[in-house]
């Protein structure tokens, strides 16, 4: 199994790389569109600006290859910003078009809470058939100032876990071969490791 971690020149590579390496795997850092064709599973890390990320991957032909990867039912794990770019529209540092897997826009957190950082307890959508190794762990490490805002109720069916303090923040989304998490599993100790294991075992 060949695991690729996408480098879009802004993301947090080392944490997720060493998390996977400690599990006994040897992931590859992906820098080009051509390299995406050679892997079986793709991880898109978080940290960075939405506009920079999307401009970079479109300019370098990576956007197209990720779409092909998705269409061929190969597993993708999107972390934080790596989840957000699979929405339709993003507004961080300018307007950007995402992959459109989810009918959602990525907008700033509200005025009373500009930044969500630290450990938070996840709520679960009981309508979903949750994987056991996900639903038994509910505290994860978050670090973000933007979030997915669904434009209809249809995509909420794909929302497995969420925060609901002042606003509804989708935190675990599973749709077909895509898993997206708003938190950072690579910084969430054992609970985060279980999320990564679930993805690697798909």
Q: Does domain 3-200 have CATH number 3.40.50.880?
A: yes
Active site residues: 80, 184, 186
Read off the pLDDT band of 40 (50, 70, 90). very high
CB atoms within 10 A of CB 201: 10
Asked if residue 200 has pLDDT above 90, the reply is yes
* pLDDT tens, position by position, 131-182: 666 666 689 999 989 999 998 888 888 998 999 877 899 999 999 999 999 9
pLDDT more than 70, % of the chain: 93
Scanning 50-188, the segments in alpha helix (DSSP H) are 50-59, 62-71, 81-84, 132-135
* pLDDT tens, position by position, 144-157: 899 999 988 888 88
In this structure, are strands 41-44 and 76-79 parallel, antiparallel, or unpaired? parallel
The domain segmentation of the chain, as residue ranges, is 3-200
Asked if residue 126 has pLDDT above 70, the reply is no
Element (DSSP H or E) covering residue 191: helix 189-200
> What angle, rounded to 10 degrees, do the helices at 62-71 and 50-59 form?
90
Read off the pLDDT band of 8 (50, 70, 90). confident
Mean pLDDT, the chain, integer: 89
Q: What is the pLDDT of residue 112?
A: 62
Q: What is the pLDDT of residue 137?
A: 63
Nearest to 45, CA basis, from 78, 10, 92? 78
DSSP state of 77: E
Q: What is the pLDDT of residue 43?
A: 97
């Amino acid at each position: 199994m060949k695991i690729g971690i996408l480098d879009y020149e802004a993301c947090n590579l080392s944490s997720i790389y060493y998390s996977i390496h400690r599990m006994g795997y040897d992931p590859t850092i992906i820098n080009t569109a051509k390299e995406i064709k050679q892997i079986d599973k793709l991880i898109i890390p978080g940290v960075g600006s939405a506009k920079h990320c999307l401009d970079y991957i479109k300019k370098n032909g990576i956007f197209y290859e990720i779409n092909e990867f998705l269409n061929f039912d190969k597993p993708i794990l999107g972390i934080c910003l790596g989840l957000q770019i699979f929405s339709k529209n993003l507004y961080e540092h300018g307007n950007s078009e995402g992959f459109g897997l989810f009918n959602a826009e990525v907008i700033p957190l509200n005025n009373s809470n500009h930044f969500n950082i630290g450990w938070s307890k996840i709520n679960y959508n009981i309508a979903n058939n949750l994987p056991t190794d996900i639903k038994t762990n509910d505290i994860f490490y978050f670090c973000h100032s933007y979030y997915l805002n669904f434009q209809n109720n249809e995509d909420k069916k794909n929302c497995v876990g969420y925060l609901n303090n002042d606003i509804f923040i989708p935190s675990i989304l599973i749709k077909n071969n895509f898993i997206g998490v708003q938190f950072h599993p690579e910084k969430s100790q054992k609970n985060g490791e279980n999320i990564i294991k679930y993805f690697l075992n798909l």
